[in-house]
Amino acid sequence: MPAPPRRPAPLLDPRAHEALGRLDLRIVRRMEGLLHGEHLGLRQGPGSEPAEARRYLPGEDDVRHMDWAVTARTTVPHVRDQVADRELETWTLLDLSPSMDFGTAGCEKRDVAVGALAAVTVLTQKVGDRFGAYFLHRGRVRRWPARSGRSALTTLMATVAAAPRGDAELGGARPAAGRADLAAAVEELARSQTRRGLRVVVSDFLDTPPDGAPVPWERPMRRLAARHQVLAVEVLDPRELDVPDVGWAELADPETGRARAVKITPAVRERYRGAARAQREAVAAALRRTGVPHVVLRTDRDWVVDMARFVVSQRTTAHRLARHTPARPR
């Protein structure tokens, strides 16, 4: 008798939306843009966020920018720069490959990934901000244009929900040559969206070799992080870390469609756990080398709580960076 269909987990219920609404994902890199938003821009100009005061340089500084309060306290002329506020443009790369359709703990990895996409949008949206998405789906990288507002988020969620699951082109064979993988998708995002902003990569990173071989997506991820603030969201299911002692079982690879009967013995379980642990460590090490913050969300845990804890820790890091970052020269 076939198992009853599992209902997907809600993307963001009202309580989760309220909990995340109290937080914000701090953006520590400077933004580019023409519109006025609530994030510090690269160029000087009128803005609501004044920069630090510094000593007045005769012949170089405009006396209209004189900070008379600091000048009176120090008896040395000081000026205060004004840094323009700019809008934030967030692009999320969402991995919708067949391996994301797997789940054994009440929801599939795809449901958690889509929820993470919605959560990042809620955490970063301020006045004038826009968000867009790239989807890695059926061997192709598809783009959803950047927009702003609640209606745009609803449309984006409906677009993701309507995306077919699985991969009809495989038919039990190896993927055809020329199909995009995670490395190609990250490269596409880095190449096509050059305006500074926030970039989020949501994937299970299962194509990471666990044996110390070069990580295919590491170089494009490093290129992406060189210009943008980047966040990596890794989505896991507990059965990807360990398998139960069930005897003979048929295991199928969702990416290629190949299946194999395996007898699950204690020795097999130990080898499986070791390989899974090595792969997760390889993912974490590659992200550390690229300087990208890394949060792990699981299908058997409350991912909203995990995301909130990560945001709180990132806020502490952002405050520490802000205290130790020198003032930007003119």
pTM for this model (two decimals)? 0.76
DSSP 157-218: HHHHHTSPPS-TTTTTSPPPTT---HHHHHHHHHHH--SSSEEEEEE--TTS-SSSPPPTTH
Q: By three-state DSSP, how is residue 47 classified? A: strand
> For residues 112 and 8, is the Cβ–Cβ distance under 8 A?
no
pLDDT band at 295 (very low <50, low <70, confident <90, very high): very high
% the chain with pLDDT above 90: 35
All residues at 6 or more sequence positions from 226 whose CB lies less than 8 Å from its CB, including other chains: none
pLDDT band at 201 (very low <50, low <70, confident <90, very high): very high
Over residues 70-94, the pLDDT tens digits come to 999 999 999 886 655 567 889 999 9
Over residues 300-316, the pLDDT tens digits come to 998 888 988 888 887 77
For the segment 117-145, the average pLDDT, to the nearest whole number, is 87
Structural tokens at position 46: 């009128």
Q: By three-state DSSP, how is residue 53 classified? A: strand
Average pLDDT, the chain: 80
Structural tokens at position 324: 């130790």
**Alpha carbons 40 and 229: distance in angstroms, whole number:** 13
Over residues 168-198, the pLDDT tens digits come to 555 544 555 568 899 999 999 999 988 888 9
Answer with the residue of higher pLDDT: 246 or 287: 287
Could you tell me how far CA 95 lies from the centroid of its own chain?
11
Q: Which residues pair with 76 in a beta bridge?
A: none
User: How many other CB atoms are there within 10 angstroms of residue 25's CB atom?
Assistant: 23
Q: Which of 118, 119, 97 is nearest to 109 (CA)?
A: 97
Instruction: Report the pLDDT value the prediction gives residue 24, as an integer from 0 to 100.
Output: 63
**Cα–Cα distances in angstroms (integers) from residue 5 to residues 69, 103, 104, 107, 161, in the given order:** 68, 12, 12, 11, 16
Q: Which domains does the chain have, with CATH numbers?
A: 39-86 (no CATH), 88-324 (3.40.50.410)
Whether residue 8 is predicted with pLDDT greater than 90 in this model: the reply is no
Instruction: Report the pLDDT value the prediction gives residue 110, as an integer from 0 to 100.
Output: 92
